[in-house]
Structure 1
């Protein structure tokens, strides 16, 4: 059984602040940094709503309020994040599950062809040590090389925004997990899952340091097991029936986001490439974390991601 997430403090509601001067004052307090460039406010939901509120200001005011905050993250995390990224070629692949082939959960059907642009994705899940560059007080006492957990989708999204990267779309995540193979378990294969994943059969109920299981054909570790991974997409059970064929991402503002990959408690069937899990956007638990992704520039190198207020 998964432990339920406990309540977190309510985010600061700025939607009702109509005076631009007062709004700028409150936003200035939210986007403050310590002397070493660490954010003072790290609650993801507060930051997400702050960026949305800041978009109501003039462009020059928006830039003045957010530029130092964004620059600090790129300076502190650029080397760490870029070193962790693996370039993938993209291209067409079959996403989802065909009816009747396996049990189908959480809107895995219909199987459909998707084409992705080339992108980059994290070699491993984001660790406690890396996340603590953003939130130093996170999980005190937890081993630094364990995957970060107990983070909401907002937390993951705002870490990525600060670092100049992004969350993978669920199409990118599934492409990465397949390792170029159409098998339900990608190039890993169901019979070899334990060699590639910390899941119910071998985790003994504990998280394990990232990168200690075998990598798939793309050189990526822990795509199955250890922690569920937040994706950029909102969850809708019928999305595959109406999603675009190229670079799909469900950007609807719904209450839940997609998680992929299974966790330390996941049964084998939950570690399939096409298995879709979902949780409320403000949910956090000890078996949910994330990995980063990035767009590729014209030189085929990862580049800083431009975020909109819906991403």
Structure 2
């Protein structure tokens, strides 16, 4: 966690990781176990500029300072605890309001990542279903296990699982993460670069990463989800990006 002193007092900022430019294949092929049609067609994406992404999803510690400063109300934690757990029960509109507040308070260009930036960062140079390979184990991420009796229901504090090659924790599992893009059923017509896709169904926005209540095929690097901009859920959170 990084803190910044501004006119409004101490502001908690997410710990950020610099992500280098590069290119990658976005989406999944029919051969990948768990593949969905909305992950088609696989496309070559160029990430032309470096950017920063939160090392962890935004936590309750960070969000609660925003809520206290703006009077926006505290999202419920479902009794699982706050602190270093990822914030939940936030909508896409809430997430963008948090980023806007941080921009004003810190003077830094915080924002939601694009869907392409998110997947590029999640893969961290890999081409497998998960950034650690093609198989899942309880050592890798927080997800819904086949034997539900062994699953911790609800979120867990961030950083419990190993990071990917970029140093990012919890990109897969724990909570779904809102991104900037409007929802489109396929990648046909998507931007050639890593900018957000702001055409399509913009009343629904994309979420990535899967959560504690999803089975392994739903938390692959390529898995996509969507919901309305005001919809809140007990496994919806956010991870911020920052222009460099």
TM-score by length of 1: 0.66
Runs (4 or more) in structure 1 with deviation over 6 Å come to none
| Structure-1 separation of matches of 2:239 and 2:13 | 13
Higher relative contact order (CA 8 A, sep 6+): 2
Q: Greater strand share, 1 or 2?
A: 2
Task: From 228, 238, 241, give the equivalent of 1:293.
Answer: 241
| Structure-2 separation of matches of 1:203 and 1:163 | 35
1:128 aligns with 2:54: no
Corresponding position of 1:308 = none
Larger Rg: 1
Q: Which residues of 2 match residues 1-311 of structure 1 at below 5 A?
A: 76-77=10-11, 80-81=13-14, 84-105=15-36, 107-116=38-47, 117-136=49-68, 137-138=73-74, 139=76, 142-164=81-103, 165-186=110-131, 188-201=132-145, 203-238=151-186, 240-252=187-199, 254-296=202-244
Q: Tell me if the contact between 1:215 and 1:221 (Cα under 8 Å) persists in the aligned partners.
A: yes
Q: Tell me if the contact between 2:32 and 2:129 (Cα under 8 Å) persists in the aligned partners.
A: no
Gap change, CA 1:134 and 1:276, over 3 Å in 2 = same
| Structure-2 separation of matches of 1:233 and 1:277 | 11
Q: Greater helix share, 1 or 2?
A: 1
Q: Tell me if the contact between 1:196 and 1:215 (Cα under 8 Å) persists in the aligned partners.
A: no
Q: Tell me if the contact between 1:107 and 1:276 (Cα under 8 Å) persists in the aligned partners.
A: yes
Q: Tell me if the contact between 1:196 and 1:216 (Cα under 8 Å) persists in the aligned partners.
A: no
Gap change, CA 1:101 and 1:213, over 3 Å in 2 = closer
Which runs of 5 or more residues in structure 1 are unaligned? 1-70, 297-311
| Structure-2 separation of matches of 1:193 and 1:111 | 26
Gap change, CA 1:275 and 1:130, over 3 Å in 2 = same
Across the aligned residues of Structure 1 and Structure 2, the Cα RMSD in angstroms comes to 1.9
Cα distance, 1:91 vs. partner?
Answer: 1.1
Deviation by residue 1:131-175 (Cα, 9 ceiling, x = unmatched) = 011113413773211100000000001101111211111111101
